């Protein structure tokens, strides 16, 4: 006589929920208790440091060294230096406005309705053009501000956008080159891409800043900033090219053959068939690459540019605020976090969307 | 003539020759301008400078160097510094990443939360900012006089972490090496289970005792077993010092790298088919055994390509050390360029060094990949 046993019932209710999520096994219980205590303690410490015990304004800088919490007065005192660098004080509204324009441009290009091979370049030409006009000035009563005086967040955004705008078309060319049926071109671009991918970004930027002046006639050297941006763009393109190439490979071979059979010219095949699909298929990886690039703009600090990382260091480097380094680094980390976290959230939203078959 | 122009074969050759021609013109023009500029500055060319002494000090090195060392030796020291920090980063961030990955796939909500919070926090802030932060933190510690005492075996101050280390002469090191080899042979010969294993373990135990006696009796008189750091005046004498530059770079890279590696490992673990895990449980394996014998081997295979990319990336990221004064290969090359002026040669050495290191990692990971990939399928 066999006994019939039904499937075990899944327990419900708050006790069962807690057991499943926190006390599933004896070691889960131990971890939960320890981690729970740790989380509460660190949350408490963070809140009291950042808000409850924090000092917001001071008359005298010594006050900061005696408080138990953060001294946000340093941000009040040095915030403008961190955000604008050495940009002239009276003109800093221009820097703010220029940053806002570029941020709006970035947000707009994240909207699916702007995703077309024609709209995106127009959007970026307008947005980035306005950015440069505003930052540089020299017309309609706006005093001229040379790029050597640019600094802080606007320089970070300028480098990031410059790299993206120059790097993307180059990446497309490199990807097409590597897929070419002509062996010399395919091997040549392949070698170029692999070479750039195996070198650290810093060494490439350093070479652009120091070596290029030795190798190129003075008339076409350009400024140090433009050389570094171009070198950064080439580095970006080497990585992005591999992403685009993967995207092109994921479109079926049949489409390409059909286009050739219909007598489509090569550029039409690329612009109307390959690229739109390649970009769509690889949007999450492209966003990921953008995230990495944004973080890596901070490396130009080492080459001697005054972007937001360097201006943050300058804010604590003078000695007056030397002990408030935690506050300044937290502030900088927040700036980067907002951009990077926003972008990567957007990336994972896209991924979900694509998995559902919308894009 | 028109037939020639429309001929596929001719067009292919023409396009490729133009491509080669343009690149050749580009490179030749660079070389010509370069030679003219270098001649105008009166810099000697060639690698002869490698034999010269540098004349400047380096604040951290694994191998012994001084301002009287040659450029070749100092550059080599820099490459070793890069590899030291690089490989330690890879090891520690992989361990931490593994822990993070298991936290993030755990069914325990709190573990999950901590893992996720860690990854989001450390991944979304540039690594150079993190390195700057740790460096500022370590150099703002109290001076050696008020150093934190770590239970007598170490001290933590703004000069770095001073640790007690075993005082060993070179013969002692040789003895240790011999002991290690003997133990390995002992374990290898008596592989297997049961009685042979037991005998082997006893033999290994005897070897350990023998070498311990050798080490203790063979010592020069009046030297302690441990070299403990001691405060003499304003600084510590004895023991081993981990400089803040080194520690800050290592901490920054490990914490940052672990966030990325954790995500790669998590992806690998999640890619393992659920049915295989259930099969493991059905066969009576414990949760640990299922992870150890089913999940990790399968996941390892899936994540190896992204892992090797990440390793190469981390190796390259060690160059940010220059920002806080850690003398890695890039920092040494950049100082050499300022001092010796041999820009072209040094840049070539710099790029060559990184290409060799990165290709070795790639090669090593490919070898592992070859060994573990599924056999009998393409």
A162-204 per-position pLDDT tens digit: 999 999 999 999 999 998 888 899 999 999 998 898 889 999 9
Does residue B301 sit at the A interface (CB-CB below 8 Å)? no
Q: At residue B355, does pLDDT exceed 70?
A: yes
User: What pLDDT band is residue B375 in, cutting at 50, 70 and 90?
Assistant: low
**Residue A299: closest CA among chain B residues belongs to which residue?**
B128
A33 within some domain: no
Neighbours of B123 (CB within 10 A): 22
Q: How far apart are CA B79 and CA A67, in angstroms?
A: 44
Does residue B334 sit at the A interface (CB-CB below 8 Å)? yes
Would the CB atoms of A340 and B124 count as touching at under 8 Å? yes
User: What pLDDT band is residue B252 in, cutting at 50, 70 and 90?
Assistant: very high
Does residue B116 sit at the A interface (CB-CB below 8 Å)? no
Q: Which residue has the higher pLDDT, A124 or B189?
A: A124
Q: Which residues of B touch A198 (CB under 8 A)?
A: 312, 354-355, 358-359
Q: Which domain holds residue A103?
A: 73-355
Q: How far apart are CA A74 and CA A85, in angstroms?
A: 15
Q: Which helix (H) or strand (E) holds B98?
A: helix B71-105
Would the CB atoms of A316 and B16 count as touching at under 8 Å? no
- For residue A269, the domain's CATH number is 1.10.3720.10
Q: Given this model, what pLDDT does residue B377 score? A: 46
Tokens linked to B126? 């540039």
Question: Which of B20, B322, B359 is opposite residue A198, by nearest beta carbon?
Answer: B359
User: What pLDDT band is residue B220 in, cutting at 50, 70 and 90?
Assistant: low
Mutate to test the interface with A, among B19, B23, B126, B358 (most CBs of A within 10 A): B126
Q: At residue A359, does pLDDT exceed 60?
A: no
Count structural domains, chain A: 1
A36 within some domain: no
Q: At residue B201, does pLDDT exceed 50?
A: yes
Q: Given this model, what pLDDT does residue B222 score? A: 60
Cβ burial of A201 (10 Å; 0-12, 13-18, 19+) is: buried
Q: Are A327 and A50 in contact (CB under 8 A)?
A: no
Q: Which residues of B touch A344 (CB under 8 A)?
A: 124
**Residue A327: closest CA among chain B residues belongs to which residue?**
B133
Question: If you average pLDDT over residues B176-198, what whole number do you get?
Answer: 76
Question: If you average pLDDT over residues A124-153, what whole number do you get?
Answer: 87
Per the listing, tokens 């957007």 go with: A346
Paired with A67 in beta bridges are none
CA–CA distances in Å: residue A147 to residues A136, A160, B333: 7, 15, 29
User: What pLDDT band is residue B114 in, cutting at 50, 70 and 90?
Assistant: very high
Q: Of the ranges A16-25, A33-42, A148-157, B272-281, which one carries the lowest mean pLDDT score?
A: A16-25
CA dihedral A174→B20→A226→B35, nearest 10 degrees, is 150
Question: If you average pLDDT over residues B344-358, what whole number do you get?
Answer: 88
**Residue A217: closest CA among chain B residues belongs to which residue?**
B33
A13 within some domain: no
Mutate to test the interface with A, among B28, B124, B252 (most CBs of A within 10 A): B124
Would the CB atoms of B320 and A31 count as touching at under 8 Å? no
Q: What is the mean pLDDT of chain B?
A: 84
User: What pLDDT band is residue B224 in, cutting at 50, 70 and 90?
Assistant: low
Would the CB atoms of A210 and B20 count as touching at under 8 Å? no
Does residue B378 sit at the A interface (CB-CB below 8 Å)? no
Tokens linked to B149? 């005492």
Question: How is B128-157 classified by DSSP, letter by letter?
Answer: HHHHHHHHHHHHTSPPGGGPEEETTTEEEE
Would the CB atoms of B355 and A35 count as touching at under 8 Å? no
Q: At residue B6, does pLDDT exceed 60?
A: yes
Q: What is the mean pLDDT of chain A?
A: 87
Question: If you average pLDDT over residues B103-109, what whole number do you get?
Answer: 87
Query: Strand, helix or coil at A55?
Result: strand
Does residue B11 sit at the A interface (CB-CB below 8 Å)? no
Q: Given this model, what pLDDT does residue A91 score? A: 86
Q: Given this model, what pLDDT does residue A131 score? A: 92
Q: Given this model, what pLDDT does residue B197 score? A: 73
Q: Given this model, what pLDDT does residue B378 score? A: 42
Q: At residue B5, does pLDDT exceed 70?
A: no
Q: At residue B1, does pLDDT exceed 60?
A: no
Q: Given this model, what pLDDT does residue B192 score? A: 63
Closest chain B C-alpha to A140 CA, distance in angstroms: 39
Does residue B322 sit at the A interface (CB-CB below 8 Å)? yes
Q: At residue B4, does pLDDT exceed 70?
A: no
Question: Which of B108, B133, B354 is opposite residue A22, by nearest beta carbon?
Answer: B108
Q: Given this model, what pLDDT does residue B211 score? A: 79
Q: Which residues of B touch A346 (CB under 8 A)?
A: none
User: What pLDDT band is residue B323 in, cutting at 50, 70 and 90?
Assistant: very high
Question: Which of A195, A214, A309 is opposite residue B129, by nearest beta carbon?
Answer: A309
Q: What is the ipTM of this complex?
A: 0.89
Q: Given this model, what pLDDT does residue B8 score? A: 77
Q: How far apart are CA B265 and CA B102, in angstroms?
A: 9
CA–CA distances in Å: residue A184 to residues A240, A243, A267, B13, B20: 21, 22, 20, 10, 8
Full-model pTM = 0.86
Would the CB atoms of B359 and A216 count as touching at under 8 Å? no
A41 within some domain: no
Does residue B91 sit at the A interface (CB-CB below 8 Å)? no
pLDDT, tens digit (0-9, with 9 covering 90-100), for A292-301: 999 999 999 9
Q: At residue B228, does pLDDT exceed 90?
A: no
- The DSSP secondary-structure symbol of B232 reads E
Q: Nearest 5°: phi and psi at B166?
A: -60, 135
The greatest distance separating any two alpha carbons of chain B, rounded to the nearest whole angstrom, comes to 96
Q: Which residue has the higher pLDDT, B75 or B216?
A: B75
Closest chain B C-alpha to A167 CA, distance in angstroms: 20
Would the CB atoms of B114 and A39 count as touching at under 8 Å? yes
Mutate to test the interface with A, among B79, B108, B291, B312 (most CBs of A within 10 A): B108
Q: Which residue has the higher pLDDT, B224 or A337?
A: A337
A207 within some domain: yes
Does residue B30 sit at the A interface (CB-CB below 8 Å)? yes
Would the CB atoms of A35 and B316 count as touching at under 8 Å? no
Inter-axis angle of helices A201-210 and B343-372, nearest 10 = 160
Q: At residue A286, does pLDDT exceed 50?
A: yes
Show which of residues 160-219 on chain B sit within 8 Å of chain A, judged by CB atoms.
none
A64 within some domain: no
Q: Which residues of B touch A24 (CB under 8 A)?
A: 107-108
A182 within some domain: yes
Paired with B148 in beta bridges are B156
Q: At residue B256, does pLDDT exceed 50?
A: yes
A94 within some domain: yes
Question: Which of B38, B125, B128 is opposite residue A337, by nearest beta carbon?
Answer: B125
User: What pLDDT band is residue B218 in, cutting at 50, 70 and 90?
Assistant: low
């Amino acid at each position: 006589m066999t006994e019939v046993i039904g499937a075990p019932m899944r327990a419900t209710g708050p006790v069962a929920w807690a057991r499943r999520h926190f006390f599933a096994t004896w070691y889960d219980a131990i971890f939960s208790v320890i981690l729970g205590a740790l989380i509460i303690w660190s949350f408490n410490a963070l809140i009291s440091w950042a808000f409850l015990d924090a000092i917001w304004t001071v008359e005298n800088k010594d006050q900061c060294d005696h408080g138990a919490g953060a001294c946000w007065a340093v941000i009040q005192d040095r915030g403008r230096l961190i955000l604008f660098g050495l940009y002239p004080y009276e003109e800093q509204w221009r820097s703010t406005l220029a940053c806002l324009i570029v941020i709006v441009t970035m947000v707009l290009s994240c909207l699916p309705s702007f995703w077309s091979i024609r709209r995106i370049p127009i959007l970026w030409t307008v947005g980035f053009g306005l950015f440069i006009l505003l930052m540089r000035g020299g017309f309609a009563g706006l005093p001229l501000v040379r790029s050597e005086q640019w600094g802080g967040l606007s320089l970070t955004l300028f480098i990031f956008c410059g790299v993206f705008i120059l790097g993307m078309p180059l990446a497309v060319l490199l990807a097409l080159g590597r897929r070419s049926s002509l062996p010399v071109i395919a091997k040549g671009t392949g070698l170029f891409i692999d070479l750039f991918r195996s070198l650290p970004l810093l060494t490439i930027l350093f070479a652009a800043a120091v070596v290029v002046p030795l190798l190129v006639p003075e008339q076409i050297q350009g400024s140090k900033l433009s050389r570094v941006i171009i070198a950064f763009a080439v580095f970006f393109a080497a990585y992005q090219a591999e992403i685009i190439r993967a995207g092109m490979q994921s479109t079926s071979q049949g489409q390409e053959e059909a286009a050739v059979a219909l007598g489509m010219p090569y550029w039409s095949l690329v612009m109307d068939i390959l690229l739109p699909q390649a970009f769509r298929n690889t949007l999450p990886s492209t966003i990921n690459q953008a995230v990495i690039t944004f973080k890596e703009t901070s490396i130009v600090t080492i080459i001697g540019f005054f972007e937001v990382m360097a201006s943050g260091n300058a804010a604590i480097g003078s000695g007056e605020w030397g002990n408030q380094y935690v506050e300044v680094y937290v502030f900088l980390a927040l700036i980067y976090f907002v951009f990077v976290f926003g972008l990567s959230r957007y990336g994972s939203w896209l991924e979900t969307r694509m998995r559902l078959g919308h894009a | 003539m028109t037939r020639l122009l429309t001929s596929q074969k001719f067009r292919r050759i023409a396009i490729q020759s133009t491509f080669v021609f343009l690149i050749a013109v580009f490179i030749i023009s660079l070389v010509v301008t370069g030679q003219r500029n270098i001649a105008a500055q009166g810099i000697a060319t060639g690698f002869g400078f490698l034999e010269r002494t540098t004349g400047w000090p380096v604040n951290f090195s694994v191998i012994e160097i001084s301002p009287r060392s040659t450029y070749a030796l100092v550059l080599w020291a820099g490459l070793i510094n890069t590899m030291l920090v690089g490989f330690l980063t890879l090891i520690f961030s992989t361990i931490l990443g593994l822990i993070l990955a298991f936290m993030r796939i755990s069914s325990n909500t709190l573990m999950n939360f901590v893992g996720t919070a860690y990854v989001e926090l450390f991944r979304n802030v540039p690594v150079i900012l993190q390195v700057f932060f740790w460096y500022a933190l370590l150099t703002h510690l109290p001076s050696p006089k008020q150093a934190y005492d770590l239970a007598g075996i170490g001290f933590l101050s703004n000069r770095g972490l001073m640790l007690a280390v075993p005082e060993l002469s070179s013969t002692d090191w040789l003895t240790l090496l011999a002991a290690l080899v003997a133990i390995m042979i002992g374990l290898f010969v008596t592989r297997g289970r049961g009685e042979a294993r037991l005998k082997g373990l006893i033999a290994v135990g005897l070897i350990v005792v023998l070498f311990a006696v050798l080490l203790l009796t063979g010592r020069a008189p009046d030297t302690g077993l441990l070299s403990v750091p001691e405060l003499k005046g304003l600084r510590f004498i004895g023991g081993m010092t981990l400089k803040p530059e080194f520690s800050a770079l290592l901490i920054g890279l490990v914490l940052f790298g672990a966030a990325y590696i954790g995500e790669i490992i998590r992806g690998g673990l999640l890619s393992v088919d659920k049915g295989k895990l259930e099969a493991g449980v059905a066969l009576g394996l414990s949760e640990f055994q299922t992870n150890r014998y089913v999940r990790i081997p399968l996941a390892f295979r899936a994540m190896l390509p992204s892992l090797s990319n990440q390793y190469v990336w981390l190796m390259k990221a060690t160059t940010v050390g220059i920002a806080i004064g850690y003398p890695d290969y890039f920092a040494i090359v950049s100082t050499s360029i300022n001092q010796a002026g041999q820009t072209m040669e040094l840049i070539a050495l710099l790029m060559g060094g990184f290409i060799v290191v990165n290709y070795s990692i790639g090669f090593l990971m490919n070898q592992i990949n070859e060994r573990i990939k599924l056999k009998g399928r393409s």
